Copies of this chain bind each other. A is one copy, B any other.
Amino acid sequence: MRLVLASASPARRSVLRAAGVEPDVVVSDVDEEALLAELGETSPAERVTALALAKARVVAGRVGTEADDDSPFDGVVIGCDSMLDLEGELVGKPGTLEAARGRWDQMAGRHGELLTGHAVIRVRGGEPEAEISGHAATLVTFASPTTPELEAYLASGEPLSVAGAFTLDGLGGWFVEGIQGDPSNVVGISLPLTRHLLAELGVAISALWASAAPAG
């Protein structure tokens, strides 16, 4: 059984690989802005879940039509979307050094909630057969970096290109005091939630392990 990750995120792929699953990556071309505009007023959890589902549907359609007729696609497609809820404001990737510095001025010593929407689609014989979605929220407590530490972190470039201007699995790990919830959800794909969603579709995660060898 194959697992297709509908995301270009190297962090999500790393989480899956460390957990024994080697995903195929097929990136969707969902117009996130247009989809969010269509949704209108929705909760942060509904937004990330709708985006995850849109990505998974696009990719599920593509793997179905692109596969060979003699060996139609059999497996699951997983879509994810992450945002940081910072005191009621949903923040994405800062993009610039100045924006990342401003974000850290705001969040140092405080909390944020990392939300990730998840959608899983079971594709059998090339056809989407069943889909399920859900979200997970993890509370993150940020440290207060000193000015030299923050400047060094900004200079690394890492916080500019990630949702919420921090990572848990990179340099940013030094500046997260603790979390409440699932750490893989913070990185971008919650392993326990994904396991529960797969189980609802009749797929045991151990069926997706590439081999019996531990990857950690």
In the complex, are the beta carbons of B181 and A143 less than 8 A apart? no
Interface 9-residue window, one of A35-43, A67-75, A109-117, A172-180: A172-180
Q: Which of A22-30, A85-93, A119-127, A149-157 contacts B (4 or more CB under 8 A)?
A: A149-157
Q: A167 at the A/B interface (Cβ < 8 Å)?
A: yes
Query: Shortest distance in angstroms between A133's beta carbon and chain B's nearest beta carbon?
Result: 19
Out of B148, B157, B175, B194, which one reaches A192, CB within 8 Å?
Answer: B175
User: Closest residue to A187 on the B side, CB-wise?
Assistant: B216
> Known contacts A152-B206, A182-B177: does B212 contact A170 (CB below 8 Å)?
no
Query: Contact partner of A195 among B143, B179, B215, CB < 8 A?
Result: B143
Given contacts A168-B183, A204-B146, contact A192 B176 (CB under 8 A): yes
Instruction: Check B215–A155 contact: CB distance below 8 A.
Output: no
Report yes or no: B177 in contact with A180, Cβ–Cβ below 8 A.
no
List of B residues within 8 angstroms of A204 by Cβ: 146, 148-149, 152
Interchain CA distance A60-B93 in the complex, whole Å:
42
In the complex, which of the residues B19, B174, B181, B195 contacts A191, with contact meaning CB atoms closer than 8 Å? B174
CB <8 Å contact, B179 and A216 = no
Q: Is A213 an interface residue (CB 8 A)?
A: yes
A214's partner among B143, B170, B192 (CB-CB below 8 A) is B170
With A175-B192, A192-B178 known as contacts, the answer to whether A157 contacts B18 (CB < 8 A) is no
Residues in B with CB closer than 8 Å to A149 are 204-206
Q: Give the chain B neighbours of A7 by CB distance below 8 A.
A: none
Cβ–Cβ contact A214 & B181, under 8 A: no
By a CB distance below 8 angstroms, the chain B residues around A148 are 204, 206
Within 8 A of B (CB), among A187-216: 191-192, 194-195, 199, 204-206, 209, 212-216
19 contacts between A and B (CB under 8 A): A19-B171, A19-B173, A20-B156, A146-B204, A152-B204, A152-B209, A152-B212, A156-B214, A157-B213, A158-B214, A171-B209, A171-B214, A173-B216, A174-B205, A176-B192, A178-B182, A179-B179, A180-B180, A183-B183
Per CB-CB distance, the 5 closest pairs between chain A and chain B, nearest first, are: A170-B216, A158-B214, A152-B206, A183-B183, A173-B191
